[in-house]
Amino acid sequence: TLQLAARNNVVVKFVIGRKGNINKLRILETSGSAAFDQAALGIIRKAAPFPSIPPQAASASLEFETEIGPF
């Protein structure tokens, strides 16, 4: 399975834009498995679109960094 091929959790960074779209998505640290890394990116892509950021929010985008994986 993909999890067995990964040696670490993959660390991803993504930015959500004002309308809930993903503006940036990238891998900061690989899991050691290209297939698992791509699956993790796919999880985030499938979660979009996110709720819109309210106009009164201080920023027009939100930045997230998270680990995805079995470890």
Amino acid at 54: P
In terms of pTM, does the model score above 0.75?
yes
Q: Tell me the pLDDT tens digit for each residue of 43-56.
A: 999 999 999 999 99
Size (the chain), residues: 71
Q: Are the CB atoms for 27 and 42 separated by under 8 Å?
A: no
Query: What total of structural domains would you count in the chain?
Result: 1
Percent of the chain residues past pLDDT 90, beyond the cut:
87
**Domain carrying residue 40:** 2-68
